[in-house]
Amino acid sequence: MHKHHSALGLATAHSTAVTGVDIAKLCPVQPVTLLRPHAARRAARFFVEKFKGRSMYAVKANPSVDLLCLLWESGITHYDVASIAEVRLVAATLPGATLCFMHPVKAEEAIAEAYHTHGVRTFSLDTVEELEKIQRATGDATDLTLCVRLRVSSDHSKLSLASKFGVEAREARDVLMATRQVADALGICFHVGSQAMSPQAYVQAMGRVRQAIVEAGVTVDVVDVGGGFPSTYPGMEPPPLESYFRAIHDTFESLPISYSAELWCEPGRALCAEYASLLVRVEKRRGDELYINDGAYGALFDAAHIGWRFPTTLLREPESEVRPMPFSFYGPTCDDMDHMAGPFLLPADTHAGDYIEIGMLGAYGCAMRTGFNGFTAAEPVIVTDEPMASLYGQRMNPPAAANVIKL
């Protein structure tokens, strides 16, 4: 995040940019990611202070080094890593962090490197075969925290994660008993799916945990409720996060577990969605279709492929007074699939040359960007205004001017 080169279409300016409107005035040719460090700090502090257990960041949601450092500075000390590349990244960036390798299916070489080179001691699994793999790769280590992943329902979530991983109820007893024999600390974990819209998702899953513990008759040291904590989007306005925390903690307290058992969670989206938005330019209008300079192969994968609706606003001065109408977007590539159906509400007089801010893209947007067809993005810019939507409200002071980039 430095001065933008003229090749990107951004003129050099000496004033401090604090909002998306300020950036739009510079007429960038490429899409620009707008970063809000204060929003990430606020989200991290919320989890650290209000979740009655251990919050570890799911790195896959946004592996930005800057974001990892922000979360660390805000009290997030544990990180859910799902590949050896993520292990290496976090280990190099935050040498003091605790890494938990929570992908249930791992290469044996990845397990060995994680354990012997990077000090990883926590692994997840959902089969006896994976348990045996972990034993071989770690040399039958006796200092492991091993979390057996249960398959649970995703009925309360917008994106299911109920098919690929998780031990079935009829097999859980054998996997838990075998893991208890090997693990220094035995955990049970699950994932209710992405964007869980009700605390009931966790209550139901914890019922499944209770059943598994009783049937296996094992002592459990860790209960990890996984991710799924929501953010707010058009048409997806969840209850307050405090209600999720309350439901999880109350149910955890009633489980037949050791008095010293730990409660963990793995927020990804909830920690980083508000961290970033996207500034795009309209290159063409065709009826209710807008051709913009980012899309399905850029930061808008979710909008294209799973129909995610993100908040949008027209950045024009003076503001348009024309009534809004629904639009769909086409991205810049030659691919017909580079289409975001929306609907995205914008003033009906939106036209080519206008700039649009698309919000809540800190989760998965930047992480899934490709360079397909040669279309990329300009360097990100830090802004100080509030996210377009928030579950956290005004909980901290704006960042100091020293944290604001100058163009």
Q: Measured between alpha carbons, how far is 222 from 326 in angstroms, rounded to an integer? A: 47
User: CB-based burial of residue 402 (10 Å sphere; 0-12 exposed, 13-18 middle, 19+ buried)?
Assistant: exposed
Closest CA to 363 of 297, 292, 301: 301
> Omega into 343 within 30° of 0, i.e. cis?
yes
The one catalytic residue among 69, 265, 334, 366:
334
Please answer whether residues 238 and 230 qualify as being in contact, where contact means their C-beta atoms are separated by less than 8 angstroms. Answer: yes
Strand residue runs (E) in 82-234? 98-101, 122-125, 145-149, 157-159, 185-189, 194-196, 222-224
Cβ atoms of 202 and 149 closer than 8 Å: no
Q: What is the CB-side half-sphere exposure of residue 48 using CA atoms within 13 A?
A: 15
- 402 CB contacts (<8 Å, ≥6 apart)? none
Residue position matching structure tokens 């509400």: 345
Q: Using omega within 30 degrees of 0 as the cis cutoff, is the peptide bond preceding 318 cis?
A: yes
Contact at 8 Å (CB) between 306 and 339?
no
Name the residue among 88, 148, 93, 74 with its Cα closest to residue 120: 88
Based on C-alpha coordinates, what's the Rg of the chain?
A: 22
Distance of CA 163 to the CA centre of its chain: 20
Beta-strand runs (E) in 52-174:
54-58, 78-81, 98-101, 122-125, 145-149, 157-159
Catalytic residue check, 334: yes
Q: Assess contact for 7 and 354: CB atoms under 8 A.
A: no
Phi, psi values for residue 315, rounded to 5°:
-100, 90
Any idea which residues carry the catalytic annotation?
334
